Structure 1
Amino acid sequence: MRLNLTEFRPRTGPREHRVVRPRHTLRHTSLTAPEPIGLLLGDHDGLRQLAGLFSFAASSRHTIVHVPLRDGIPPDEGWGERVDLVLAHHAYGLRPSKWPGLRRALGSGVPLSVGTDDARTRDDAEAWRRRQTHADFRDELRHATHARTLFLFGSRDAFARTAVELAWAADWGPRQKGADTGASVLATAVSPKQPPGGGHPYELLVCFRKPVR
């Protein structure tokens, strides 16, 4: 798919970063962090755009993807405080505590239009699925919440797997019973790395909701 983004090149000390965000607000999409259960609530366009952003993140090891989901229309359901979303590869080394300063340094940015390789994304997602059954499997999304932002850190395959799940939710959600009435319907879920020693599992519920006109 085609993504219309804004690209930023802020510096922190000697290092130049590349940050991208959607050019336009995902108006009908919101997010609350998994503590331990979070909610991603979106319409078809919002979930489809997020699928594309995860696909872009999968193939962009040296880029931070920032999705300011607090800028959309506040939902009238759900729980917890709304947060933004940041995607970054494990190897990037982004520390959540450094994000507020980096965000303040973004400036105005420049327009960027990119296409995602949907076939490669599906192949990478399938590779992740096959490896998931192995006893030594460790390729999971890690998450952290800081400064009203949910950070998801992962590998190419882990981001690709989530992209495929979100694309499926965008397409299948509108066809579920009750979706045409404006009710929110559970489409899928994203499970980041679980806490050591047990406890309630972390989960991000992904729900479709048709915008109310």
Structure 2
Amino acid sequence: MKLTVTIHQARLGSKEFKVIRPAGPLVHAVLIDHDRHLGTYLDQDAAQRIGGLWRLAASSPRSLVHLPMRGNRGPSHALSEDGVRQLDLVLLHHSLQFAPSRWKEIRRRLGPGRLQTVTLPGPEHTDEAVIDHEARHYKENRDLFHQHLHAETLFMTGSAKVFGDTARHFFDVARNGPGYVPVHPSYPHFCTELHSDAGILGDAREIHIEYCDQWDA
């Protein structure tokens, strides 16, 4: 698949940081802090593009992949709780050893960036059968997500492998969400999760990923 992004450079002190953003806004995408878990609500286009950005994070260990979403309007059912917080998202490789406390200053220094089209493996290359689910539960497993929250932004830190293995969740939403037929009133939308039982979460909360086709104007 081809994905158009903008590449930004920001210098902070003696260090220069590379930040990758989607070229166009992710209009129908919100990330919400529900306290005990996180919720991501997406339409087909946003799910497809975020799957690509998730893949890009796997292959870009020296970059911060920034998904601006916190100002978006969301589906009313997702925002019905009192005091919910909408967040931006940053994906980064653990080897970068980035301190989230530096993000606000870096974000302020970002210019318009330069357009670039990248070619990534498509969703058809995601093979669930080759994922070693048993190994994920070994105590030696280091392919885990860790999360930090700073400056209204969720930082998802992980290895190339865990980003590569979990991008399929977003592609599943893009592929199966639009044609989903509810079979039970408790499950009106197609959804999937990054959950603790999967052996991919270290110091991180579960993320509920839900397809939505009705958005507030």
Assess if the C-alpha contact under 8 Å between 1:126 and 1:161 holds in 2: no
The whole-number CA distance in structure 1 between the counterparts of 2:90 and 2:207 is: 15
Aligned to 2:25: 25
Q: TM-score, normalised by structure 2?
A: 0.84
Aligned to 1:193: 201
The whole-number CA distance in structure 1 between the counterparts of 2:180 and 2:108 is: 41
Aligned to 1:69: 69
Aligned to 1:14: 14
Assess if the C-alpha contact under 8 Å between 2:123 and 2:168 holds in 1: no
Task: Trace 1:139-158 onto structure 2 (pairs within 5 A).
Answer: 139-158=143-162
The whole-number CA distance in structure 1 between the counterparts of 2:91 and 2:110 is: 16
- Structure 1 residue ranges, 4+ long, deviating more than 3 angstroms after superposition: 118-121, 123-130
The whole-number CA distance in structure 1 between the counterparts of 2:99 and 2:32 is: 20
Decide which moves more: 165-174 or 13-22.
165-174
- Unaligned ranges ≥5, structure 2: none
Matched AA of 2:88:
D
Matched AA of 2:121:
D
Is residue 2:130 matched to residue 1:122?
no
Question: Equivalent residue of 1:97, what SS?
Answer: helix
Aligned to 2:117: 113
**Aligned-residue offset at 1:128:** 5.5
Matched AA of 1:10:
A
Q: TM-score, normalised by structure 1?
A: 0.85
Structure 2 CA distance for partners of 1:120 and 1:91, relative to 1, 3 Å = farther
The whole-number CA distance in structure 2 between the counterparts of 1:66 and 1:128 is: 29
**Aligned-residue offset at 1:130:** 5.5
Assess if the C-alpha contact under 8 Å between 1:128 and 1:161 holds in 2: no
Is residue 2:62 matched to residue 1:86?
no
Matched AA of 1:61:
P
Structure 2 CA distance for partners of 1:127 and 1:211, relative to 1, 3 Å = same
**Aligned-residue offset at 1:165:** 1.4
Deviations 1:87-118, CA, capped at 9 Å, x for gaps? 00000111111100010111121111111123
The whole-number CA distance in structure 1 between the counterparts of 2:155 and 2:18 is: 16
Is residue 2:112 matched to residue 1:104?
no
- Unaligned ranges ≥5, structure 1: 196-200
The whole-number CA distance in structure 1 between the counterparts of 2:44 and 2:27 is: 11
The CA RMSD measured in Å over matched residues stands at: 2.6
Aligned to 1:209: 212
Question: Equivalent residue of 1:167, what SS?
Answer: helix
Task: Trace 1:45-64 onto structure 2 (pairs within 5 A).
Answer: 45-64=45-64
Matched AA of 1:143:
Q
**Aligned-residue offset at 1:70:** 1.8
Aligned to 1:198: none
Assess if the C-alpha contact under 8 Å between 1:124 and 1:157 holds in 2: no
Deviations 1:160-195, CA, capped at 9 Å, x for gaps? 12211111122122232249xxx9614111136355
Structure 2 CA distance for partners of 1:144 and 1:121, relative to 1, 3 Å = farther
